Structure 1
Amino acid sequence: MKTIVILGFETSLASPLVAAVDTFRLSGSHYKEIYGESGNQEFSVSIATENGCPVQCANKITIDAHLSFRDLPSHIDLLVIPTVCKKYVKGKSVNQPYLNVIEKFHKLGTPIAVNDFSVPFVAETGILDNKIATTHWSYIDEFTSHFPLVKLNGQQLMTYDNNIYCCAGGLIWNDLLFEIMSRLSTRELAKKSEKIVMTGRKKQQGMGSTSFSFGRYFHDDHSIFEVQHWLEENYSENMCFKEVAKNFNMSQRNFYRRFRCATGETPSEYLKSIRLHISKDLLQHTNNRIDIVTRLVGYDDTSSFSKLFKKTEGITPKEYRERYNLYPHI
Structure 2
Amino acid sequence: MEQRTVLVVLFDGVQSLDVTGPMEVFTGASHCHGPDEVPYRVRTASLDGAPVRTSSGLTLVPDTSLAELTGSCGLTGPAGFAEGAAPHTLLVPGGAGTRAEDAELVAWLRAHAPRARRLVSVCTGAVLLARAGLLDGRRATTHWAYCDTLARDHPEIDVDPDPIYVRDGHVATSAGVTAGIDLALALVEEDLGRDTALTVARYLVVFLRRPGNQAQFSAQLSAQTAQREPLREVQQWITEHPGGDLSVDALAERARLSPRHFARAFQAETGTTPGKYVERVRVEHARRLLEDTSDGVEEVSRACGYGTPEAMRRAFVKALGTAPAEYRRRFHSPLTTHP
Normalised by the length of structure 2, the TM-score is 0.59
Using the alignment, how far apart are the partners of 1:124 and 1:197 within structure 2? 33
Following superposition, the deviation at residue 151 of structure 1 comes to 1.1
Q: Which residue of structure 2 lines up, in the alignment, with residue 76 of structure 1? A: 87
SS at match of 2:53: strand
Match of 1:57 among 54, 57, 60: 54
Does 2:91 correspond to 1:89? no
Does 2:153 correspond to 1:146? yes
Q: 1:312 to 1:286 in 2, by over 3 A?
A: closer
Matches within 5 A, 1:1-330: 1-29=3-31, 31-32=32-33, 40-72=37-69, 73-85=84-96, 88-91=98-101, 95-198=102-205, 209-212=208-211, 281-283=288-290, 292-293=299-300, 298=309, 313=332
Deviations 1:148-181 (A, max 9, x none): 1111111222112242111111322211001111
What amino acid does structure 2 have at the position aligned with 1:25?
T
Q: Judge conservation of contact 2:164–2:212 (CA < 8 Å) in 1.
A: no
What amino acid does structure 1 have at the position aligned with 2:139?
I
Using the alignment, how far apart are the partners of 1:311 and 1:143 within structure 2? 33
What amino acid does structure 1 have at the position aligned with 2:12?
E
Using the alignment, how far apart are the partners of 2:112 and 2:52 within structure 1? 21
More divergent stretch after superposition (54-63 vs 5-14): 54-63
Q: Judge conservation of contact 2:291–2:332 (CA < 8 Å) in 1.
A: no
Which blocks of at least 5 consecutive residues in structure 1 are unaligned?
A: 200-207, 216-276, 300-304, 316-330
The number of residues matched between the two structures is: 232
SS at match of 1:194: helix
SS at match of 2:11: coil
Following superposition, the deviation at residue 212 of structure 1 comes to 3.1
Using the alignment, how far apart are the partners of 1:127 and 1:289 within structure 2? 45
Using the alignment, how far apart are the partners of 2:330 and 2:144 within structure 1? 37
Using the alignment, how far apart are the partners of 1:286 and 1:188 within structure 2? 24
Q: 1:154 to 1:38 in 2, by over 3 A?
A: same
Q: 1:309 to 1:172 in 2, by over 3 A?
A: closer
SS at match of 1:28: helix
Deviations 1:52-75 (A, max 9, x none): 111211121101110111232532
Q: 1:39 to 1:173 in 2, by over 3 A?
A: same
Using the alignment, how far apart are the partners of 2:190 and 2:41 within structure 1? 16
Using the alignment, how far apart are the partners of 1:214 and 1:21 within structure 2? 22
Q: Judge conservation of contact 1:9–1:84 (CA < 8 Å) in 2.
A: no
Following superposition, the deviation at residue 78 of structure 1 comes to 0.1
SS at match of 2:25: helix
Q: 1:58 to 1:309 in 2, by over 3 A?
A: closer
Q: 1:12 to 1:110 in 2, by over 3 A?
A: same
Which has the larger Rg? 2
SS at match of 2:188: helix
Q: 1:310 to 1:65 in 2, by over 3 A?
A: closer
What amino acid does structure 2 have at the position aligned with 1:5?
L
Q: Judge conservation of contact 1:131–1:161 (CA < 8 Å) in 2.
A: yes
Following superposition, the deviation at residue 187 of structure 1 comes to 2.8
Normalised by the length of structure 1, the TM-score is 0.60
Q: Which residue of structure 2 lines up, in the alignment, with residue 218 of structure 1? A: none
Identity %: 16
Deviations 1:202-259 (A, max 9, x none): xxxxxx63423659xxxxxxxxxxxxxxxxxxxxxxxxxxxxxxxxxxxxxxxxxxxx
Q: Judge conservation of contact 2:140–2:168 (CA < 8 Å) in 1.
A: yes
SS at match of 1:26: helix
Using the alignment, how far apart are the partners of 1:75 and 1:314 within structure 2? 36
Using the alignment, how far apart are the partners of 2:15 and 2:169 within structure 1? 26
Q: 1:145 to 1:213 in 2, by over 3 A?
A: closer
Using the alignment, how far apart are the partners of 1:9 and 1:145 within structure 2? 25
Using the alignment, how far apart are the partners of 2:330 and 2:156 within structure 1? 46
Higher relative contact order by CA 8 Å / sep ≥ 6: 1 or 2?
A: 2
Following superposition, the deviation at residue 142 of structure 1 comes to 1.8
Which blocks of at least 5 consecutive residues in structure 2 are unaligned?
A: 70-83, 215-283, 311-323, 335-339
